[in-house]
Amino acid sequence: MRFLRRPRFISGMPHRSKPHATHAHPAIRALPTRLSGIVTRGSAPGARSSSASDLASRLVSDDRHMMIGLIGDLEGEESAAVDCLRFLGERGEVQVAYQLGDLRFGMGPDPDRYLAAIEAACARYRIELQCITGNHENWARLDAMWADPQSKRDDGSLAPLRLSEHITMLPRGHRWEMGGRTFVALGSAPSINRHLLTEGTEWWPTEALLDEHVDAVIAGGHAEVMLTHDSPGSPYCVPAVEAILRGNVRDNPMAWPAASLTYADAGIERVTRAVLGVAPLFLAHGHFHVADQDSVRLPGAAHTMTIWSLAARHDSGNVRVLDLDNLGTAED
């Protein structure tokens, strides 16, 4: 996906380096309802991954002041993924990171090798990587995995998918508690460039966020931290995203077809409705490949919402650290 402008500098990125050696990843399976001290709301506690039990105990015992990593769109770039994890791992305080969509799961010439390289970096730095869905994922594979009865909870809702020992994919609308905070994830977005993509290999219709996803998230009520792939629209987005949206309407420098613009706008409208319904204290998203932040007032809310837009790949601002104690930056 192409955009109008390069991201502004927010935080430093490590230098590009040679990725770690890879290995075959384990079988993909449904994630237990409790992993590494992260408690899924509305579900009974299940068994933890035995290999993560020491990490789990540390997360539970020290969860009142916790730092988490946020990673923007990786777009299938192995070196960018490894560099982001190295940056977080070398801080020594980040044990869980959230990737905000467009991991490009199941895509590319060797998707197993790509996932294995990320798993190796997670294992090396002892980081649990939890991903939300983007538009650029292999939705045929995700849909098939979530269709498996083992990937559903007793109430029929989708459970997180364990992609490897340290990597999971979160379904749209997933809620959990961590670090004394409540979270909700709402991935997915429309591909504005779908007219350039081949359905079934590069694009799948189920990428799109639907009204039913939004309705379910709103029904779940307030969450303090909201992670999305797409951005809310103006006036609830960061200035860099607002400039892109305004430019698409006024100048359309990328010459997007009208149908593609309408498709993308529908996704933004749905995310906006979800954000207004959840009224989070903090929102982070990817998708637009720009780094920026702002503080906005939501209608009817007694608080302002801090919003971070993360950049992509190796660009500055693609990886950040959030302090759950104050929902502010922990990068300095």
Number of structural domains found in the chain: 1
pLDDT at 4: 36
In a domain, 48, yes or no: no
In a domain, 206, yes or no: yes
Please state, rounded to an integer, the average pLDDT across all residues of the chain.
Answer: 85
User: And the tokens for 67?
Assistant: 């730092």
**Please, which pLDDT band fits residue 330 given cuts at 50, 70 and 90?**
confident
In a domain, 37, yes or no: no
In a domain, 182, yes or no: yes
Judge whether 242 and 299 are in contact, CB under 8 Å.
no
* Closest listed residue to residue 169, CA positions, set 153, 145, 147, 149: 145
In a domain, 190, yes or no: yes
pLDDT at 228: 98
Strand order, beta sheet including 319-323: 29-30, 161-162, 167-170, 128-132, 94-99, 67-71, 319-323, 328-329
**Range list of H helices, 151-223:** 211-219
Task: Tell me which of 6 and 264 has the higher pLDDT.
Answer: 264
pLDDT at 64: 52
CB count within 10 Å of CB 251 equals: 10
Tell me the sheet residues that pair with 69.
97, 321
pLDDT at 38: 60
Q: Is the pLDDT of residue 55 over 50?
A: no
If you search the block for the tokens 């060797």, which residue do you land on?
A: 110
Q: Is the pLDDT of residue 29 over 90?
A: no
**Please, which pLDDT band fits residue 63 given cuts at 50, 70 and 90?**
low
In a domain, 282, yes or no: yes
CATH number for the domain harbouring residue 238? 3.60.21.10
Q: Is the pLDDT of residue 286 over 50?
A: yes
Task: Tell me which of 7 and 188 has the higher pLDDT.
Answer: 188
Tell me the DSSP string of 82-123: HHHHHHHHHHS-EEEEEE-S---TT-SS-HHHHHHHHHHHHH
pLDDT at 12: 37
pLDDT tens digit string along 218-242? 999 999 999 999 999 999 999 999 9
In a domain, 305, yes or no: yes
Least confident of 41-45, 206-210, 226-230, 281-285: 41-45
In a domain, 196, yes or no: yes
**Range list of H helices, the chain:** 53-61, 78-91, 111-125, 139-147, 211-219, 239-250, 258-278
Map residue 307 onto helix, strand or coil: strand
Report the pLDDT averaged over residues 25-37.
Answer: 40
pLDDT at 331: 60
pLDDT at 165: 98
Q: Is the pLDDT of residue 301 over 90?
A: yes
Parent domain of 112? 53-326
